[in-house]
Copies of this chain bind each other. A is one copy, B any other.
Amino acid sequence: MRTYGQYCAVAKALDLVGDRWTLLVVRELLARGPCRYTDLRNGLPGIATNLLADRLRDLEQAGVVSREEAPPPVATTLFSLTSRGEELAPVLRELLRWGMPLMQQGPAPDDVFRAQWMAWPATMRLTDREPDAPPVTIQVLADGEPAFLETSGGGVHLTVGRADHPDAVLRGPARVVLGLLTGQIDLDAAAAAGLECEGDRVALERVLPDAVAV
């Protein structure tokens, strides 16, 4: 294992999670929970399959990831974060904070996008304004990638995939959807930038953040 050879906490941390792709593997496991190998590959477009296997081995040995064989009938391997791995959440959160301004200019020509990458930025700003009312569900399609928002316990969380009977549907470019969910633009500005919006407007205004000036 390659190390910096420095008796410094930052260097020691980077010895374990500083390699290329490593923190992105952790990002996937934090955003989606326990994952199969194939799910990870899908959430890490561009990674070579041998590298993913390498990183999972390294992370397992570092005590960050644990591997469990799911029993039949599933009969697959599930990768999940250990408690030590979940403690990397603040690191990822601050990296996300620092990187958010870079998202405003939109994706590069051949950037890929995945719905789960909205989970953290969204739940950082979204709250349920009427926690005692019946829960609502909002389907989101950003660049065609499906996810849905659900109110629960005063907060809002995002799940990858399609909801059964959503109260509203938001559809548009990832940049616009992300700007809306993170409070950088409001519904009117989003609509002007290409957001399609169907269903219950009240449900939307219940969870969407107030846009703040930048």
Instruction: State whether B90 touches A6 (Cβ < 8 A).
Output: no
Please encode chain A, from 21 to 44, with 1 for each CB lying within 8 Å of some chain B CB and 0 for all others: 001100100000000000000000
Instruction: State whether B100 touches A9 (Cβ < 8 A).
Output: yes
This protein's copies in its complex: 2
Could you tell me the distance between the alpha carbons of A8 and B96 in the complex, rounded to whole angstroms? 8
A102 at the interface (CB under 8 A from B): yes
Could you tell me the distance between the alpha carbons of A58 and B117 in the complex, rounded to whole angstroms? 26
Interface size counted on chain A using CB atoms at 8 A: 47
Tell me what chain A mostly uses at the interface: helix, strand, loop, or mixed: helix
Could you tell me the distance between the alpha carbons of A27 and B14 in the complex, rounded to whole angstroms? 12
Could you tell me the distance between the alpha carbons of A98 and B24 in the complex, rounded to whole angstroms? 17
A-B contact pairs, 22 of them (CB 8 A): A4-B24, A5-B45, A5-B112, A6-B45, A6-B46, A6-B114, A7-B106, A7-B107, A7-B112, A8-B27, A9-B117, A10-B92, A10-B95, A12-B99, A14-B24, A14-B95, A88-B98, A91-B91, A91-B94, A91-B95, A93-B94, A94-B94
